[in-house]
Structure 1
Amino acid sequence: MKSKLTGTVLALVLGFQSAVLMAKPSLMESWEHLQPSREQVIASLNVVELLKRHHYNKPPLDDARSAQIFESYLKMLDPSRSFFLASDVGEFEKWRHQFDDFLRNGELQPGYAIYRRHLARQQERLSYALSLLEKGVENMDFTKNEELLVDRENAPWASNKQELDDLWRKRLKDEVLRLKIAGRDDESIGELLTKRYTNQLARLGQTREEDVFQSYINAFAQSYDPHTQYLSPENAENFDINMSLSLEGIGAVLQNDNEFVKVVRLVPAGPAEKTRQIAPADRIVGVAQGNEEMVDVVGWRLDEVVKLIRGPKGSKVRLEIIPASNAPNDQSSRVVAITREAVKLEEQAAKKAVLELDHKGRNFRLGVIEIPAFYLDFKALRAGEAEYKSTTRDVRRLLTELQEEDIDGLVIDLRNNGGGSLQEATELTGLFIEQGPTVLVRNADGRVDILADDNLGTYYKGPMAVLVNRLSASASEIFAGAMQDYHRALVLGGQTFGKGTVQSIQPLNHGELKLTLAKFYRVSGLSTQHQGVIPDISYPASVDTSVIGESALPQAMPWDSIRPVIQVDRNPFKPFLDELTARHEARTADDPDFVYSRQRLALSQELVKETTVSLNEETRRARQAEIEQRQLDLENAMRQAKGQEPLDKLEDEETAALHAENEKLKPEEDAYLAESGRILLDFLNLHSAIANRESRL
């Protein structure tokens, strides 16, 4: 078995060249030629056996699992319930409790039959949408007071073709209206949507047996957990490339989000992050090679979009994205040009700064070490090079330099750190504790392996805080959790990502299976899975945790706990947490950045709850203008509180990114970092007062 801990991977590095067939195909009456092969039957039996024997949970393959597979497969194929008819689902219902038997027996036909019906329904719907477009966008009536239900996850299945026609008529009106509000004219909208639907029809005709098999087996595999996944031979090759980081790309992790491909996170110091124009939860709607024509990718599979994005070092790719910061119905997009390149290890290296703060009439100097990733130059290490780069070696050197500068305390900044080397998380922990366990790994058989720091001595003994956010994941959570469990540091910021599972790659006769076979636990016995690390004092979230994070994934394994391996008698922070929290809340109640973050998140959560949109243009434009004005008011309130000139309109992201690049904020101007320093100083002040009182007694 070739094993890889996907929780400690730096990222999937994306990029490559591909051509897209845009010619409209002759419509097919059926897809009966799509039939399972002998290799696929054998692979499916192997997947069943591997999950039975090696998955962490080993849940039974029974009627209950069958029903779950059935529901997952329908949701995977038709998440918005816009293709299948109620009669289709009723016809499939006879198999609801039989998929466990089908899979054990290598019977793939029911899965193929459902997929073939989905292809037929897709063809009908796309053809219908094209027929509406042929009548002309300019002839659509946007004065009617109609509404479209956009949150259709639990909507009833359409009872007949007429209901689906009406739904798709409204869906098309919604797409046209979004593009009109985004500034496109009727002619360009008609061209764009005609090309989009024609392209999707063309790609239906290119469907292969492998597409069917991968979807069906993944409906089964991902009923166990979201990280257990079947990889086709082609996708297995892509996965190996991504894991080894041997191919240059844009440095981003992507996932499907209904018809869109969404950015999950960015590789620190990667090409996408360097643009400062791409953020988690942004949606990619177009990809272009160099200066070639933009290819619309709405409705494409994730692997197809990845193929367009991947490419050789030095080549340019342009992405058309809809920013996550847009209002829910705002389809305005921007184009970001990215030069593909390898992520250089030195660009991910830990960096230091000094945060200078006035506190209680005295000036304090706090060291700040930003760690973008947990990195280790394995190649140099294996070659026996004495000066190989690693997170721990770099942090040790930075600590030496900061202590020579007489710092009063330390803040470790792990914001947006998506993980990396598990070994480095353990060794870095060892710099701050005397000796002992750092993380526990519980295997499927119940055995618990203990990773530990065996070196006596603490490299840095001074006061410290660890700053995290929702995008701090995996190795970051292991380190932050250890610092919290050993009561070595105050953990501040946002609830972390929550990925606490370990995956392994098992080769099959046809493709590969990535399966979850272990879980991470903190030395206190608490899992990092699902819940992540909860800060001692929380800051406003920078992203909506219902959209980004392990808990946002379907079938995510739950949080739990096991027996702890350390007992730390006294928590020096606990007696002061209430007072520290009260001071923090009082200090940030009127802080411009904190107020803005809270209000922006509240607005986003309010808008997400809107399940319908108006198809009346006047009403829709008025609502859009209202939302944009509220966003502008929030932005200007923050700017005015900082003594900056207010904006007449919201800056586009490109302009904002250029401003941010030119400003190069000082540590004191980073509100969350500065507040972390103040909390640490509050603790030192309170702790010192108690110590002085006790010494007098």
Structure 2
Amino acid sequence: MFKQLLVSLVLVSVLACGSKPRVSLNQEETLKPSAQHEVIAKEVANILENISYKKVAMGDSLSNIVFKNLLNSVDMGKVYLLQSDIDDFEQFRNSISQDFKDGDLSAPFYMFNQYAKRYIESMEYALSQVDVEHDFTVEEEYINNREKLGWFKTQDEVNDQWRKRVKYDLLNLKLIGSDTTSMEKHKDVLRSRYKNLISQAKKIDSNEVFQVVMGSLTDAVDPHTTYYNPFFAQAFNESMSNTLEGIGAQLMMENETVKITDIIAGGPAFKDKRLKINDRIIGVAQGDGEFEDIIGWRLDAAVSKIKGPKGTVVRLRVIPAGQDLTAQPKIVELTRDKIVLAEGSAKYEIKDVKGDDGANYKVGVISLPKFYIDFEALRRRDPNYKSATRDIRYILDTLKQKDVQAVVLDLRNNGGGSLQEAIELTGLFIDQGPVVQVKDVRNRVEINSDREPGVSWDGPLGVMVNRFSASASEIFAGAIQDYGRGVILGSTTFGKGTVQSALDMSRFISTTSRLLLKASDASESKKNENIPAGAPEFGQINVTMGMYYRVSGSSTQHRGVEADVSFPSQFSADKFGESSEPAALPWDSIKAAPFKKVADLNSINKTLNEKHQKRIEKSPAYGFLLEDIKKFNEEDSIPKVSLNETKLQAERDKFKKENRERINQQLKYLGMPLWEEGKPQPQHEFDFILDESLTVMTDYIRLSEK
């Protein structure tokens, strides 16, 4: 449905306001904050001001950011609210964070209630337009996302937007449906969609609004500081949610569509490789059944359709990452499975690589999707507890027995995990020494070191990273780079260099506040009767309490780790990673830790880059990569779609033809059968970055021998 009701663990932030009179919430049907919400808001504001690493004052500048965050949460696309609503809300712009300090949530709830009213009005108008006769031959354009435009000035402008939206939805259903499906059937789908949206909007309760409101504040302070209400806190602490079941993808709701935020290692989506991060799911079909439209559904409802018993088939209608909602969707069929976390363990394969000198080289490639450890087995003192370091130590012994000449550790899309594992894994490649420094809220610096003597692999080492390599991956890659122990291959990493602690909000709720809550209206008390067993009564805040630093003294925050041998990336720094977050902590540095470099690779890295650049300039595969990046980043400043059926169909046919031609170029290069029109797309794995990285390693082997 809308971004703020995502029931997704990623959208959270906090608000605050001052000492002015509270906004009147006198409408009978408006949602109101509970006494518990007000107490929690006040304590969260206190934590952010006095306990968190950033210690942000609840002042005018923060209020302005919170205000913008709340508007973006409810109406980022600017398709519901009027300019008159925004003018009315302006009274809160510079005071909303100060109000949080007093536990006053009347302003954000007032804003949300007005938005909810406009939302239902728009949906009801859209529903009334389904049976209107629409002419698909006239020249008319529809703007799906108006984020870069101004707010509507009149209700007539809003109505015209939704008239076009209904017309587009019907046209889109017609173009992606079969020739035998009637227009009346498409109208049935659309009626059901809008009725569902209205029904869900009317079921929103104050707890969900509170989650949105708190998200607007914490996002204004720090992208990794998050308040979770009791329901989300339990899900987070169990490291489990419905979004991880069935296909193995982590999901969130954004602008009425289900977006993929992570692919879980070992799951069906991970093995299939067709689904990508930031793809959006707009339709679901069970087996060979008909597709069910899920645009605008709440996340839990959409997930219930996507997940299912092991062995059953689900088909997904997907808008590829980087493409507008108006693009032609792709169909991905997956067989559901139980997500066995062990399948996310380190794996290896041995590659025979031909170098530029014509000789053949053996390179061991280790894929590590996350830095894992079985904490429960470790607590039981099980001598055979499972961890990334233990698995990779065994793999390295195996690779040495098979006489590999170099090792590549693939950390692409590895979002992190256990800090201790990052330290111990580094120790397999260096002989004792500091690995990472951590500075806390009191500016005290602790040096974390590998204390185990000896190494498991002392030969040529490559570490592959990309924009989604984060946290523990950056600590490991940074240490390998600082020590001169290996060459970093790929693109600049995510840039997450902050440390979070999970704090139970019960610790901050005073006895006086608890007594006041007990004495509050009994109807409010009933709102919390359904809190899951074991969930924290007042929720939980995951708050930034420190920063990581490399042994060189440089932070990984914001800047990430830059590759020694670089490849172009489709994920630009202004849209992806820590640098794309307005409230992210800046980069800084501290004193270097005392460590001894293994080698100075500056000269070798320079030579590797020169050979790399000469080679890729002549490679057809490199051209494919550049073309894919260009396609991914192509977008109009204000994307428009034609509502003329002939013109829109021609545009989509052109896109499908160009896409098929591009894929056929890759298939031909790989020596595979070409993709014929009307047939399913052939499955092929095209990984130019891995192939070229392995060739770089053959150069590294020769240079190391010299």
- Deviation by residue 1:566-623 (Cα, 9 ceiling, x = unmatched): 4656863212333322221221224343221111111221236562222222332222
CA distance in 2, matches of 1:651, 1:672: 28
Moved more, 510-519 or 427-436: 510-519
* 1:675 matched residue in structure 2: 692
Contact 2:363 2:694 in 1 (8 A): yes
Give the corresponding residue for 1:47.
Answer: 44
Which residue in the other structure is 1:168 paired with?
162
Indicate how the Cα distance of structure 1 residues 144 and 287 shifts in structure 2: closer, same or farther if over 3 A, else same: closer
Deviations 1:492-519, CA, capped at 9 Å, x for gaps: 0122233222222222252222222222
1:685 is matched with which residue? 702
Q: TM-score, normalised by structure 1?
A: 0.86
Q: CA deviation at 1:123?
A: 0.9
Deviation at 1:158, TM superposition (A): 0.6
Q: Deviation per CA, 1:226-268, whole angstroms, max 9, x where unpaired?
A: 2222212222222222269999554322233222121111111
Question: Aligned in 2, Cα 1:237/1:31: closer, same or farther, shift over 3 Å?
Answer: farther
Q: Residues 62-141 of structure 1 correspond to what in structure 2 (within 5 A)?
A: 62-135=59-132, 139-141=133-135
- Output aligned runs, 1:251-400, within 5 Å: 251-286=248-283, 296-302=293-299, 305-306=302-303, 314=310, 316=312, 318=314, 320-324=316-320, 327-328=323-324, 329-334=326-331, 336-345=333-342, 347-400=344-397
Amino acid paired to 1:238 = A
Residue 617 of structure 2 corresponds to 589
2:541 to 492, 505, 513: 513
Is the 1:374–1:391 Cα contact (8 Å) retained in structure 2? yes
1:147 is aligned to 141
Query: 148-157 or 538-547, which moves further after superposition?
Result: 538-547
| Superimposed CA distance per residue, residues 151-191 of structure 1 (whole angstroms, 9 cap, x where no aligned partner) | 42231111110111112222222333333332354233212
- Using the TM superposition, give the Cα deviation of residue 387 of structure 1 relative to its aligned residue in structure 2, in angstroms: 2.1
Q: Cα deviation per residue 1:91-146 (whole Å; 9 max; x = unaligned)?
A: 111111121331111111111111111111011100010011022xxx31222222
SS in 1 for 2:502: strand
Is 1:404 the counterpart of 2:432? The answer is no
Aligned to 2:650: 622
Moved more, 517-526 or 180-189: 180-189
Please name the residue that 2:443 is paired with.
Answer: 446
Q: 1:536 to 1:188 in 2, by over 3 A?
A: farther
* C-alpha distance in structure 1 between counterparts of 2:366 and 2:296, whole Å: 42
Single out whichever of 32-41 and 330-339 deviates more from structure 2. Answer: 330-339
Q: Distance in 2 between matches of 1:246 and 1:134?
A: 35
Counterpart for residue 482 of structure 2 = 485
Counterpart among 140, 144, 151 of residue 157 in structure 1: 151
Distance 2:580 2:678 in 1: 29
Query: What value does the CA root-mean-square deviation take over the aligned residues?
Result: 3.0
Identify unmatched segments of 5+ residues in structure 1.
Answer: 1-10, 14-28, 690-697
Find out whether 1:498 has 2:495 as its counterpart. yes
- Answer yes or no: is the 8 Å Cα contact 2:483–2:598 preserved in 1: no
What is the CA distance between 1:415 and its match in structure 2? 2.2
Question: Which residue identity is paired with 1:492?
Answer: L
Contact 2:355 2:699 in 1 (8 A): no
Q: Does 1:457 align with 2:454?
A: yes
Quote how far apart the aligned CAs of 1:437 are: 1.2
Partner of 1:636: 664
Deviation larger for 624-633 or 595-604: 624-633
Question: 8 Å contact 2:482–2:551 — kept in the other structure?
Answer: yes
SS in 1 for 2:90: helix
SS in 2 for 1:91: helix
1:649–1:560: structure 2 CA closer, same or farther, 3 Å change rule?
farther
Q: Cα deviation per residue 1:37-80 (whole Å; 9 max; x = unaligned)?
A: 11111111111111112222112110111111111111111011
User: Is the 8 Å Cα contact of residues 354 and 361 (structure 2) preserved in structure 1?
Assistant: yes
3-state SS of paired residue (1:221): helix
The DSSP-based 3-state class of the residue aligned with 1:607 is coil
- Mapped partners of 1:244, 1:631: distance in 2: 35
Alignment match, 2:586: 558
Q: Secondary structure at the match of 1:472?
A: coil
Matched residue, 1:7: none
- Tell me what 1:646 maps to: 674
Query: What amino acid does structure 1 have at the position aligned with 2:653?
Result: A
- CA–CA separation in structure 2 for the residues paired with 1:346 and 1:143: 52
Q: Per the alignment, do residues 338 and 551 of structure 1 end up closer, same or farther by CA in structure 2, a change over 3 Å counting? A: farther
Indicate conservation of the 8 Å contact 1:248/1:343, yes or no: no
- Distance in 2 separating the partners of 1:265 and 1:451: 29
Residues 235 and 303 in structure 1, CA contact (< 8 A), matched pair in contact too: no
Query: TM-score, structure 2 length as denominator?
Result: 0.85
Alpha-carbon distance in 2 for matches of 1:356, 1:565? 38
Matches of 1:547 and 1:331, distance apart in 2: 23
- By how many angstroms is 1:639 displaced? 2.8
Distance 1:263 1:644, change over 3 A: same
Q: How much identity, in percent, do the aligned residues show?
A: 36
Deviates more, 1:439-448 or 1:109-118: 439-448
- Equivalent position to 1:539, from 567, 576, 584: 567
Change (3 A) 1:544 1:413: same
Match of 2:523 in 1: none
Q: Could you say what secondary structure the match of 1:681 adopts? A: helix
1:191 and 2:185 correspond: no
CA contact 2:481–2:488 (8 Å) conserved in 1? yes
Distance, in Å, in 1 between the alignment partners of 2:193 and 2:586 is 39
2:432 touches 2:450 (CA, 8 Å); kept in 1?
A: yes
CA contact 1:281–1:323 (8 Å) conserved in 2: no
SS at match of 1:242: coil
Q: Residues 361 and 250 (structure 1 numbering): CA distance in 2 closer, same or farther, change over 3 Å? A: closer
**Cα distance in 2, alignment partners of residues 554 and 178 from structure 1:** 35
Helix, strand or coil at the partner of 1:503: strand
What amino acid maps onto 1:577 in structure 2? N
Kept in 2, the 8 Å contact 1:503–1:514? The answer is yes
Partners of 1:104 and 1:353 in 2: CA distance: 59
Q: Secondary structure at the match of 1:187?
A: helix
* SS, match of residue 227 in structure 1: coil
* TM-superposed deviation, 1:683: 3.0
Deviation at 1:86, TM superposition (A): 0.6
Return closer, same or farther for 1:383/1:246 CA change in 2, 3 Å cut-off: farther
CA distance 1:176–1:566, shift in 2 (3 Å)? farther
Q: Say which SS state the counterpart of residue 251 (structure 2) adopts.
A: strand
**Which range moved further: 145-154 or 191-200?**
145-154
Counterparts in 2 of 1:83 and 1:236: CA distance versus 1, 3 Å: same
Q: Is 2:217 the partner of 1:220?
A: yes
List runs of 5+ in structure 2 lacking aligned partners. Answer: 1-7, 11-25, 507-537
Deviations 1:278-299 (A, max 9, x none): 2211112245788998654322
